[in-house]
Amino acid sequence: MTESLVDEAVGFEQFVAERGRGLLRAAWLLTGDHHHAEDLVQTALAKTWGRYAAMSNDHKFEAYVRTTIYRTYVSWWRRMSWRSERPHDDVPDTEAAGGADALRVDLLRALDGLPRMQRAVLTLRFVDDMPTAEVAHVLGIPEGTVKSHSHRGCAALRGSVHLAGQEVTP
């Protein structure tokens, strides 16, 4: 390996060490399954590895990886084999049953009950704080469809039995 390839590999490893947890969290919110989330992040990182050196900073590369995660998720979602799988009822990381942790678990269960595209739209809009136009671009769907999925997803969350009687604001 030449010195520049070694530096690139070290930089990429640092990027994954620093931002990998956030990428995994975003993937888990999309998939609702830890194993699928890991597969999704690994697939996105493998697809984007060659572009790491070309990006001027890690923030731009992270945006590129996140876009790849969402597009790969949509691609997987469209395949029949992916749609037939359902995650287990067990939610990982359920340490405490009170306060914010309980609300977090309830919110994750409510998100798991949404159709995959609504979950993707809500995750991009309210977790990653993207505007409607950017969500439409990332998912490759019209802005009106993003608004429709967002409206229906929020309505479904408001009516979710997991969130009954709890105030949840995106």
Which CATH number do you get for residue 155? 1.10.10.10
Shared domain check, 106 and 80: no
Domain tally, the chain: 2
Does 100 lie in the same domain as 84? no
CATH code of the domain in which 31 resides: 1.10.1740
Distance CA 108, CA 135 (A): 20
Q: Are residues 42 and 107 in the same domain?
A: no
60 vs 144: CA distance, rounded Å: 27
**Domain match, 108 and 168 both:** yes
Half-sphere exposure (CA, 13 Å, Cβ side) for 168? 26
Based on the fold, state whether residues 21 and 101 are members of the same structural domain: no
The model's pLDDT over 102-151, given as tens digits with 9 standing for 90+, comes to 777 777 888 888 888 888 898 888 888 889 999 998 888 999 999 999 99
39/130 Cα distance (integer angstroms): 24
Q: Which residue has the higher pLDDT, 139 or 92?
A: 139
Last residue of a domain, one of 72, 88, 104: 88
Identify which of 92, 79, 94, 73 has the alpha carbon closest to the alpha carbon of residue 140. 73
pLDDT in tens, 52-74: 888 878 888 998 999 999 989 88
